[in-house]
Structure formats: C-alpha cells, structure tokens
Structure 1
C-alpha cells in the first residue's frame, strides 16, 4: 500500500512528526530496526524487574506553553503525559575539590552564589551571566520559524547572540576573565554535551543552560510512557509502526526517493515499501551513503560532512535498603569532577582512556517522581554517565573481549570509589544489580554510528549557518533527526514539529 508518509526510524523527532501528521489525517507507515521504538529514548528491562531508559536523564522546555507542552496539547496528550520539575533552587548540584555550587533557576541567585565563592570576581561573574541571558534571548528569536519583525524588536539580544557564532564556551569564559574554578562549576554538566569548554559551541551551552534554568523536568510516568503515548496517537489515527524492520536501501528515480528496501529481522525476508514522501530519521550520513552522495546537491554534501559527537560510558545500578535522600540526593542531578580544569579532565578520559580521576554525572530517576514502575519499592535506581572514546572501545571489543570487560569494570570501580569517598559510604554493599554500557553498546542497541550520542558534534563548526536541516535536495525526501535538527528531548520534539509545520502548513509553534 502506498502511504502519504513513509518514515524510516522511530526516534523522538520521527515519533513527534509521525503522530502529528497521522492525526492530521495522512496515512503513515514507520519502520524501525530495533525491537523498541524511541531511539535513545527507549526503555529496556533487565533481570525481569529493573527498567532503565537508554540515555535520557532530565529534560527541558516542558513547562506550560513551552515546546513539548504545546506539541502534547496538539496531540491531545497534555493531560496524561505530565512532568515533574526539579528543584528550582538547585536543579544541578556541581561538586569539585574545594567547591560546591547548586545551580538555581534564578540568575540573580546564581550570581550571588558564585560571587560568594569568588568575591574578587563578582563583577565579571555578573557580566557573564547577564551576557548569557541576553544571548539566550537572541537565540530564541533566531530559531525557526524566524519572524523579521521580532528580530527588529529585539535587535540588541539578536546582535549579542550573532557575535558568538564561531565561539566556544571557553572563548566566552576567557573574554569575561572568569576564574578557572568558576568556569568548571558553570560547565560541569558537560556530560550533557560530551564536549569540554574549549570545544563546545557557546550556542549549544547557552541553549541548554538557559533551558534548564527555565525548568528542568522528568516525566511523571517515566520516559517509556512518553514514547508509548506518541505511538498510541500514531496508531489510533491509522498509522503503522513496524519494529525489527531494517532499511537496507532507498529507491531513487529521477532524483525522487520513492521508497525503501527492508529486511525483516525476525523472518530475514526482504520487503519493499513506498511512500509519497519519505522521512529519514536515521543518520543522514548513513542514508546518503545508501542513496549515493553524488545524488545530492553540492551544498547538501558539504553539510553532510559533519563529525560525529563523542560517545559515552553508562552504568545503570540498583541499590536496596538504602534511601539516597539521606545522602543529599533528591530532585536534582549531581556532577562531579576531580579535575579543576574540565578541558584536562576530558582529554584524560577521552584521548587517553584514563579514568583514575573521573569526571561524571549522577542521576537518580526513582527520586524524581512518585510513580515508581522501574524497580521494586525497596530499591532505587542510580545511573552514572561520562565520556568514552568509540575507537578505543571498538578495538578492545573486537580484539580482546576480556580486556573490553575489564576496562568497563575499571571505569565503574573508579566512579564507585569516588561515590563512596564523597557521597554514599558503603554504596557497593547495597548494590543488587548493575550493568554497564560503552560506545559499542550505543552502536549495537541504538543503531548509532560510531556510538555517537548526539548525532553531529556540538562544536561551533556544526552549530552555525552550515548546519544540516530537513532539506535534502531530493524530491519528497526529508531529514528529521538530531543531526538535521538538534539533539536532546525538547529539541527533537521541536525538530519533528517544525517539519510537520513545513510540510502541512499547520503552524502552531512560534519561536518564543
């Protein structure tokens, strides 16, 4: 059957687009190679009683009137897919030798806390935070769909944002002469980007930092419910989701993508599906190789030459008969570093695979909502996240699987040593389950090229005017994923909704 929209992949942006376009009355078929929909947002079960989300930890832009809320309202889901807000007085708890900072939603309070820690630098701290606010406001006005009248009304904020087009976070830290320790405390949520300040786009940092200040959230019924709710809308309006269907090739006739060839991974039979429009949620570089890069216009080929983001190491843990709230955990995340300089910390782990002094994030999903469906009531879930080099782990796994497992355990032990020394004594004694994931885990279970976590790397080169968007130069073929939009929960909602608006003409999102 010929469908109006054939969607390849079921990541969040694809699910948002698919559910919106199906609800509008179009016929939709979605193909997913994995056994679960949702991409990095999918949930998996271990030991038949513990459930973990693959990659998502906390999210933003979910409050009343914000992007995620507006999409959910459009889909009729806003009353059932709800979110719990992190503590606005400290949604991120930053910890490093000699310093502790809880990041609040209120910028004046943030300035006060930093100025108390660094009294000799209070002026430059205030100037930096004010600049971040102004640049953040400018970036919102520059986000599609752009309204020229809004740019003119807010020319000061827009001009502030534009000047940092090619800047890293480190460039702006240096411009305002922030002390090293203050830089580290402000950038200590670096695992959200998997880049250090001297490589990370200032734009990317501002968007996320200001986004979380406006509200950091966790789904009331966990991330799995968000995914299943989107699938439910898709299917209740006649859409079809086929799991375990891997796309092996695209059909192209006269620069028009007409359909795909698919392998059913359960039967190993091949099928062909066609559509009036084909939406590509898989990695654009991979899709371009299948199609043939020469089929694309030179301008698109240039945009397709992005570097993949770094990958990560994850540890998913379950503890029993221990309440982490007694040890300072709650509706916030912890970020820890043993290094004063995050650029050095990143290099030590990513370039040298040395985790003897790790920098990592800690998240506690079971403390973020009263709805605990992820583990037994006498247990709590803790997750640890840090950066990892794909090439290093790939080589280990292929050449010496025992060495691969030893390295994963070594990193885990190093992190737990820090946890027991600084946060939860005897943590190991209460641990009843754990599983670790490396970059090759991302590649195998999330179909992520080179194990990347965010599509294209969030450097200034990839975040500027040459960034890939939905346009492909081929007829009836559109990109819709993290590399052709932006990575993260809210940005992928925005990417899917924006493509829906462009193809349907039904505009319900502004640009703030």
Structure 2
C-alpha cells in the first residue's frame, strides 16, 4: 500500500473528504484538539462554494459568497472562526444596514433593513392592506428563529416552546396560508429564497427563518472575497500539523467489519484512519463512496436514492468598464412576476421561458479592499437565477461527475447562451442598460457546478427532502466512524450554515459542545502557530495546499495591491 504523504497505515486520526467550509471547519477543530487530520480535495483549490476564480488578470469572481449574515461582534461565523484562533484573520465589511437587500416587484419595492422590528415596519409600509397578516407572520418567524439560535448555541435540554412544536415541521406555504397573505405578499417574503433554492411549499418555516434571521442580524461581505475564509482555515489546518491535498479524488470509503478504516483514492492509493468525515455530496457518499447496500442498510440506501435536491442555480459573471451610478451597498432581488409559487412550479416542471427571478450581487461595491476584484473604475457583479432539476434542459443525458463531456455540445451551448441573454435582460430591467460597457461575460450552469463540486444535479444547496419535506440527515451515519458535514445535513445552508455543520460534526467526534463553548469565548486553536502573511500573500495560492502552493497555473491579478497581514 502506498500513501501520497509517504506515511504508513494508521498515520491519520481523521480524514476529511472534501474541503468545503464545513469540512475545513470540522478539520480545524479536530486538528486544534490534537488530532492528526488529512483533508482530501478533488478540485485544485480548497473552499468549495467559497472559492474564487480569476479572468484576464483583471477580475476575480466569487463563486458562492455573495453576502453573509450575522458577522458582527459575537456573530455565529466570527465565533466559529474565533474559536479556532482566526478572529483577526478574516474581517467582515457590513453592507447597508438600512437596506442590504432590495426586493423589486412590478408593483412594489422593499428595502430590507437590519432588525426584525424594522423589517416588519418596511413590510407594513409597502403592503398596508396586509398589516395584520404580516404582523402575525413576523411574530411567528421571530419566535422560531430565536428558539433555533438558542438551541444551536446553548447546551441541549429543556422543552420546546409551543411555536416550535406547531411550526417546526410545517412549510412556508402553510405559514402564509395561516396568515392569510396574498400572492404578492408571499413573493415579497420569499423573494430571498434564492439563498436556499426551494419553493415555499418545499421549504420548512425553520429553514427560511434561520436564513432571514442571520441577515437581519446584519449582512456582511468578507474583505478580500470569499477565498479569504477558506485560506484562513487552511492556514490553521497546516500550522497545527494537518495536511491538505488538492487534486486528490477519493474513490471510496473503506469499511471493514462495519466500521470505517480509511479511504481509497481513484488511483488506488489508500489512507487509513478510524474516523472519516464526508464533506462530499450526501447521495454520492451513500450510493458511491460507501458502496451502497454493500455497507449500509437497504432502507438507508433507498432513502438516499429517493432523496430530492434543492433547485440548482446558474450564475452570470459580469465585468463592466465603468462604475454603476448611485448603486447602494445592497443586493437586488428582481421578480418579474408576483407569484412566487407559480414561478417555482414552472422551473420545477422544466420551463425556463420566463426566469423566476434575478439576484444581483455587486462584489466591487461590497468589498472595501481596493482593486480586490476588478480594476479601479470598473464594476464586478453577478446575476443568479434558479434552474430546472436534471440534465434535460441542457440537452444532456448525464453529468460530468460520470464523465459526460458537455462544454462543446451544441444543445448545451444553445441553452446556456439563451439563459445568459435572459439573465442580462432581467438585470437591465433592474438596474438599466449596461451591455455596451461589458468587458467580461461568463455563465456558470448547474452542469458547471457539478463538474467542480460533484454535487448531485449541480445543486449548491443540498437536499430538499430526505424521507419527508425539509428533513435532512444528522452528522452521524449508520457506519461507525463515518460522519457527515456540509450543505446536505440539517445544519447546512449557505456558508454560515455549513460552518455550523462543521462545528457540530467536530462536537460529535470530540464529544464536546464545540459551538456553545466558542460562543462563550473558548478558543481551541493557537494563534501563535499561524504563519505570518507577507506582502504578496494570496488566499488562492494558500488554498492550493502546501504541496501544490507553488505549482504552475496560479492565476494572478495585475492591478491588485499586495494583501499584507
């Protein structure tokens, strides 16, 4: 047996498959607790949906970090990073507290501010005829969110309040019905559903309220872009004795006598450890990496096979040779139709003749680091929308995870180009004409997402239903020593959610209440071990891992000032 690090069998206490933020957070807490940890990533850079890519030596685009909630002092993500000793390594810049999200419908516009009371005031001002129903809705959501946060950050115990017993397994549509809200009000309230990728009828009240509660505590953007979060976690991992290997794909999880024994790479190399954490797609973990029925009960395999994913998304990356006039530091959610339920139903049925929404995220306005994502005087922004599940819309029979070649397929390119034009049309309807100032345009489809992350169907948001609507697996599995983290477990949902999942997974392995401890100020990591950051510090380079840090092919930006420490 060979190992890529030159070690022998049993050299690792834990192996993490996948280097998304959930996997890196879990690995960070394990290595900070003294465990020998190996992280394996099939892509050439760590970070999952937090990573960036660069074009023309001028533009840097965030793949999935558009904005983060609750990143002020004492916030959830800063507490998780702070518990690793990274509190000074990642800085978050606040977006406009008076309106971090602008929701635009044909007949009404709502600027979403920080704070539940101010949010309710804005809603009642915009929809005065529905003030009573909106008040009831906000009271329920705020109570649910408060309970969820208390449960996540405190030691377990105590009875659930009545509001949770009533609403924890009900959908957003059922809550809308209970409050007697119109189609227009429902669209305003669910306009930000693109943050989790499912319709109100397929979304638990808990999932929606956890998302909106994070942002109502303040919306932020990481200074220097999303890659800075992953890079800080890689620095923590490596400085505490762990190892990250990129461009290293796991073929299967080794299971012997009912418990984990390590992993085997696609090239036959084996690494052995008594603990394996899968930050990979849940369905691929069960059906492929773990061998399905060979190692797991039929019921578990059947449930994974029948599970449905949240809707995938497409993102259009745009660069302009001018700045946008008078654009505030906020996102835009543009809904051309005021029926959110109908819009999602059409997408789920495979109809994209009319896009459900366009989400516009302006990185060059959010990031205070000069020139971090585009040259001075230019604009860098993204347009996102939801797409149908499966491959039919793209003219394909299967995806790249199974080896499908698609990038020059005529049907695929036709569908992609048509979608790009549609997204540009919606964006111009939201902010005015800009096509004549385009200097870079590139679209990522769900097929692209699958290629880079191996997620089922290219969904960035994980499972929609696992047995029943909204249900998801926990961090533990039916195999001793195998644990889960990431978008597919019940903590997951966006960057903050997967970071929480990583802390929860580490808690199960270490048998410690990690999240409550760090929220009270506990620090596992040793900041003194972290490396100095020189004037040429580059988070993308760091995220390649020590063994590939100086490999050829690293894209750079000509105009960027040195990052420094």
Q: When the two structures are superposed, what TM-score results if normalisation uses the length of structure 2?
A: 0.83
1:150-174: CA deviation from partner (whole Å, max 9, x where unpaired): x4xxx5xx22022113322111111
Q: Does 1:209 align with 2:212?
A: yes
Residues 67 and 493, structure 1, Cα contact 8 Å, conserved in 2 = no
Cα shift at 1:506: 4.1
**Corresponding position of 1:108:** 117
Per the alignment, in what secondary structure is the counterpart of residue 515 of structure 2? coil
Cα shift at 1:86: 1.7
Give 1:60's match in structure 2, choosing from 69, 76, 99: 69
Mapped partners of 2:315, 2:329: distance in 1: 20
**Corresponding position of 1:319:** 320
Q: Give the unaligned 5+ runs of structure 1.
A: 264-268
**Corresponding position of 2:392:** 392
Give 2:468's match in structure 1, choosing from 453, 461, 465: 461
Q: Pairwise mapping of residues 406-445 of structure 1 onto structure 2 (< 5 A)?
A: 406-425=414-433, 427-445=434-452
Cα shift at 1:463: 3.0
Cα shift at 1:225: 1.0
Cα shift at 1:458: 6.3
**Corresponding position of 1:490:** 496
1:79-102: CA deviation from partner (whole Å, max 9, x where unpaired): 120111221211110001111001
Mapped partners of 1:60, 1:67: distance in 2: 9
**Corresponding position of 2:187:** 184
**Corresponding position of 1:227:** 230
Mapped partners of 1:374, 1:421: distance in 2: 25
Moved more, 436-445 or 52-61: 52-61
Moved more, 206-215 or 343-352: 343-352
Residues 307 and 464, structure 2, Cα contact 8 Å, conserved in 1 = yes
**Corresponding position of 2:549:** none
Mapped partners of 1:163, 1:302: distance in 2: 29
Residues 165 and 460, structure 1, Cα contact 8 Å, conserved in 2 = no
Mapped partners of 1:343, 1:462: distance in 2: 16
Residues 307 and 465, structure 2, Cα contact 8 Å, conserved in 1 = no
Q: Does 1:140 align with 2:149?
A: yes
Cα shift at 1:433: 0.2
CA RMSD in angstroms, aligned pairs only: 2.2
Moved more, 431-440 or 484-493: 484-493
1:259-317: CA deviation from partner (whole Å, max 9, x where unpaired): 11113xxxxx4311111211111123212223233322467446635212211111011
Give 2:81's match in structure 1, choosing from 72, 96, 112: 72
Give 1:167's match in structure 2, choosing from 167, 170, 173: 170
Q: Does 1:470 align with 2:475?
A: yes
**Corresponding position of 1:259:** 262
**Corresponding position of 2:253:** 250
* 1:144–1:117 distance in 2 versus 1, CA, 3 Å: closer
Q: Does 1:86 align with 2:95?
A: yes
Q: Report the count of equivalent residues.
A: 495
Cα shift at 1:10: 0.8
Per the alignment, in what secondary structure is the counterpart of residue 478 of structure 1? strand
Cα shift at 1:416: 2.0
* 1:107–1:61 distance in 2 versus 1, CA, 3 Å: closer
Mapped partners of 2:156, 2:214: distance in 1: 21
Q: Does 1:335 align with 2:333?
A: yes
* 1:285–1:358 distance in 2 versus 1, CA, 3 Å: closer
Residues 203 and 469, structure 2, Cα contact 8 Å, conserved in 1 = no
Q: Give the unaligned 5+ runs of structure 2.
A: 1-6, 398-404, 520-565
**Corresponding position of 2:307:** 306
* 1:422–1:74 distance in 2 versus 1, CA, 3 Å: closer
* 1:393–1:37 distance in 2 versus 1, CA, 3 Å: farther
* 1:18–1:101 distance in 2 versus 1, CA, 3 Å: same
Moved more, 226-235 or 72-81: 72-81
Mapped partners of 2:26, 2:350: distance in 1: 40
1:28-87: CA deviation from partner (whole Å, max 9, x where unpaired): 111111111111111112223321122221111322222211121122111120111221
Residues 201 and 460, structure 1, Cα contact 8 Å, conserved in 2 = no
* 1:160–1:298 distance in 2 versus 1, CA, 3 Å: farther
Q: When the two structures are superposed, what TM-score results if normalisation uses the length of structure 1?
A: 0.91
**Corresponding position of 1:266:** none
* 1:358–1:416 distance in 2 versus 1, CA, 3 Å: farther
**Corresponding position of 1:26:** 35
* 1:193–1:258 distance in 2 versus 1, CA, 3 Å: same
Mapped partners of 2:261, 2:386: distance in 1: 39
